[in-house]
Amino acid sequence: MRKILFQEADFYGASKLIFGDMPLPICYQATWMHGIAPVFRESPSSDILIHYNERHLPIHLVNNKKTTKILNDQGVKSIAVGMPYIYTKAHSENKRKNVLFKKIFMPPHSIFCNQKNDYDKWRAIIKKYDCDAICLGGSDYSDVINKKINFEGVKIIKGAYARDDSSLTRMSEMFYSSSEMITNVSGSHLVYAAASGVKVKVIDEIHELSDERLRNNYGLKVMNSFPGKYQKSFADHLATDKGVNEIMLRWNSKSSKEAGEYANYLLGTECRKDPKIIKDYLMVNNKIKKISIASRLLFNKVNNKFNL
């Protein structure tokens, strides 16, 4: 049943950071924000900030106080506790370790399928920027490893996968063992890396990727993955995108120290709570309330899947 009711608080192993070796609850009474991109907009809709299957939950855990203000202004109560990433052991200890990777390339993380048509482009980027590692999302990593695809001898690192409980821990350990990360796409990895003391750079190839996604209607495909009644909010969200030049300016113009401070602000590091408090926010202690939340979650998943 837990797999069917998979919630935002489970993404990338967030709940495991709080519950550890304890059996995870069948459901949670709180959302827990895992995506950082919406904060780059001035006032994103709560339809984007809160997962559409979980809007009815009584508690919404978000990254920082700016987000709580945005949501409160829209009539949605939330609590700033920081992003799940800041609860990983590596980030909590905040100690740089032995450098295992001098320069990691992080290409786009696919939510639809593997990106085998782009592998040659990635090889060219690895060679051009002299990378010694590439971090691949779940489907691409499996494809490359299972088919033994050659990536010029660089280290192939397993990236994040939504239902992989070790994702956040693995990513934080990787970043705390890395000197530099380059990428041709915006996303949470920029924030995770910078907050972990890694030098980050958005490379010029982001323009090529942006143009390709525009031609292939990538934004429309993502929008269509939302239930019908939330698609307008997502379309408005896309319309406020300031483009790749803004992304490059935001990161490439900062020193590593400035980028780290900015990233920790976005992650809400100063809002970090004792894990016991997070556990109390997530736990449903009343049996009737648990049945009610689980039933509503299941109903929403079925309802939204068929756009009812």
Q: What is the pLDDT of residues 229-274, one digit of tens each?
A: 777 777 777 666 668 888 898 899 999 999 999 999 999 999 999 9
CA distance 60 to 54: 9
Q: Where are the alpha helices (DSSP H) in the chain?
A: 14-19, 46-49, 65-73, 89-93, 119-128, 138-146, 167-175, 188-195, 206-215, 218-224, 231-239, 244-252, 256-267, 275-282, 287-305
Least Cα distance to 81 among 242, 276, 218 occurs for: 276
pLDDT at 121: 95
Which of the four pLDDT bands, split at 50, 70 and 90, describes residue 9? very high
Q: Could you tell me the CA-to-CA distances from 300 to 14, 30, 73, 149, 198 in Å, in that order?
A: 22, 15, 25, 40, 40
Please state, in angstroms and as integers, the Cα–Cα distance from residue 32 to each residue in 7, 27, 58, 186, following that order: 9, 13, 12, 21
Cα 22 from Cα 71, distance rounded (Å): 32
pLDDT per position as a tens digit, 57-95: 999 999 999 999 999 999 999 999 999 999 999 999 988
At 76 the pLDDT is 93
pLDDT for residue 130: 96
Higher pLDDT, 132 or 152: 132
* pLDDT score, position 146: 92
Structure tokens that stand for 65 in this block? 């106080």
Q: Which amino acid is at 227?
A: P
**Closest C-alpha to 171, from 135, 140, 145, 143:** 135
Residue boundaries of the structural domains of the chain: 8-87+270-305, 93-267
93-267 maps to CATH 2.60.40: no
Contact residues for 210 (Cβ-Cβ < 8 A; gap 6+): 243, 244
User: Is the pLDDT reported for residue 39 higher than 60?
Assistant: no
Q: How far apart are CA 146 and CA 70, in angstroms?
A: 44
Residue 214 CA from chain centroid, whole number: 22
**112 confidence band (pLDDT: 50, 70, 90):** low
In eight-state DSSP terms, residue 217 is T
| Residue 304 pLDDT greater than 90, yes or no | no
DSSP annotation string for 114-174? --GGGHHHHHHHHHHTT-SEEEE-HHHHHHHHHTT---TTPEEEE---TT-TTHHHHHHHH
One-letter identity of residue 166: S
| Paired tokens of 216 | 């292939």
pLDDT at 179 over 80: yes
pLDDT in tens, 277-301: 999 999 999 999 999 999 999 998 8
Please list, in sequence order, all residues whose beta carbon lies within 8 angstroms of the beta carbon of residue 32, skipping any fewer than 6 positions away.
8, 9, 11, 14, 15, 61, 81, 84, 282
| pLDDT value at residue 240 | 66
CA dist 79 and 163 (Å) reads 24
Residue 205 has pLDDT above 80, yes or no: yes
Q: What is the mean pLDDT of the chain?
A: 89
Task: Taking residues 26-53, report their average pLDDT.
Answer: 82
Q: Taking a C-beta distance cutoff of 8 angstroms, is the pair 304, 55 a contact? A: no
Tokens of 72: 């409160």
Res 243: pLDDT? 80
Confidence band (pLDDT; 50, 70, 90) for 226?
A: confident
Q: What is the DSSP letter of 202?
A: E
Q: What is the mean pLDDT of residues 149-176?
A: 93
pLDDT class for 40, splitting at 50, 70, 90? low
- Reported confidence tier of residue 37, pLDDT bands at 50, 70, 90: low
pLDDT at 98: 86
pLDDT given at position 1: 80
Burial label, 137 (beta-carbon count in 10 A; 0-12, 13-18, 19+): buried
